[in-house]
Structure 1
Amino acid sequence: MTRRPGQATIAAMRKLTLEQIETVILDFWQGSPLNSLHMQGGEKAWKQPHIAVAAASDPLFVEIKKMIGPFYWTPEEAFALGRPGLQASAEELSVISYVLPQTEATRSDQRAMNELPAERWARSRYHGEEFNCGLRSHLAGRLSAAGYPAVAPERLLDFDYRTSEKFGIASNWSERHVAFVAGHGTFGLSDGLITRFGKAVRFGSVVVKADLPVTSRMYGEDHQAWCLWYAKGKCGACVHRCPIDAIAKDVGHDKPACFKYIRGVTAPYVAKNFGLGDTPCGLCQVKIPCEAQIPSALQANG
């Protein structure tokens, strides 16, 4: 019998495999109507996703909580919130992180912009994130139905934004930090995560009660290894891409200034011109050496 798009199931097996997880994710990416920019021609919002896995017991999760603040969830805490009454230690949990790369057409349009986001980019931020939210829930649901209880922390009712004493505006679950721990990539000068597929990406994650093989973290615990500025003291292309000078080589990313520009300028712009209720900018993610890859000068480290 031919399987309908988006209906991949996990076979009943004694041990969950990465191949089964990849099948569920790729099937949903290929067949879900949510994966669309809602433009003429039916373009997908994202290129093919890629997954990585972290152990929930990785000490980096606790270190990140200490840095961001007590409101930040470890995987064990997020699982307990989503599965009250179901006990699971960090050693029993795995964290699946996936990366959604922007399409070449979206990146090309965005490269031509200097002050405001391109329409495709804005649509990927709005409709693409609708798909991302759907994928988070879909994956957690499929895993749970197959006997591997799972939660998508970003989809929990308690997910929100707080104020970190050290970092300012911060959520209680960070997809970028999870992706770093899982081996997807490291942070750049603009705070974006540089992956093998570049910085022009988005992330999602699911915490599951299953023993999965952990992805090798090629950069160890160096959270800035794949940024040319931090690794070699040169580049700073993202500095010049920011229309309001919210990125600086000596201090990094000015989050309040970035937030103000997005809320006050780019969000009203896309609402008026494209009818989208999102908060895009992303100019610092393109027209840079790490747009779609690890910078070539650092690829031996990846």
Structure 2
Amino acid sequence: MKERKKPKYDMEPRYVLLIMTMICIFLIFFSYKFSTLFGNIRTSLNSMIIPMQKGITTIGMSINNTIDRFEEADKLQDEIAALKAENERITREKERMEQSLYELERYKQLFALSDNYKTYPTVGANIIAKDTSGYYARFTLDKGYKDGIAVDMNVLADSGLVGIITEVGPHYSVVRSIIDDNNYVSAIVTKTEDNCIVCGNLELLSIGYIEIRDLSLNTEARNNYKVYTSPLSDKYLPDILIGYISNIQNENDGLTKTGYLTPVVDFEHLTTVLIVTQLKEDMREAE
């Protein structure tokens, strides 16, 4: 059987050229004829699309700026937090240094006080508790009998007498100060050598005084004369400054005089004290 031959559709080149020429002429004519219509459509589309593009661009820039501001705000927050932490550290360090300087100043004062009474052996102690009177009428120290502390030892601060130890535990001791209502100290006035009794009085202390009793009717003691512990005392060591005389007057019995005394110790602001580790009893035995 013979194979059937496929028909050929070859076109001559001149016909192809003719057809392409006609298409080009048609497109030129069409473009010229309808140019106004296409221009209007293009203009309308541009009038809608361009503002939308501008709006989208503006929104995008605004979003980017907002993101940048948030990033800057986060950085600022981190910097502020770091500055706050540094400020707190510096504040704590400053407070620690101020406390150290205060303690150093207190110890310098105690050292000077110890030097004033260098004939007596002393040891420093910190106050760890006090009564509720508002003053240091009775308070607790951080040293006890395991530190060599004993009942009736004298306690000093601010260049003078604070009080006496009345109770001792292993690592603590209790002090009754000279301002306590139940405290009495045998004392002597300098210059006149008059004997007297210094009596605690918390009510009077609110105006800065405690009492002096049993001054001689013929005493020549005057305001601002110093009053010291007397050698006659059975518990207080001699020659320890107590305070200064103020406002002497006759007693009601007409036999003695009384007055006020300004303590040399500030009984509102005690923090550290000196304990004299020598007892009056030991001193008498040594004599």
TM-score by length of 1: 0.24
Bigger relative contact order (CA 8 A; separation at least 6): 1
The structure that has the greater radius of gyration is 2
Query: TM-score normalised to the size of structure 2?
Result: 0.24
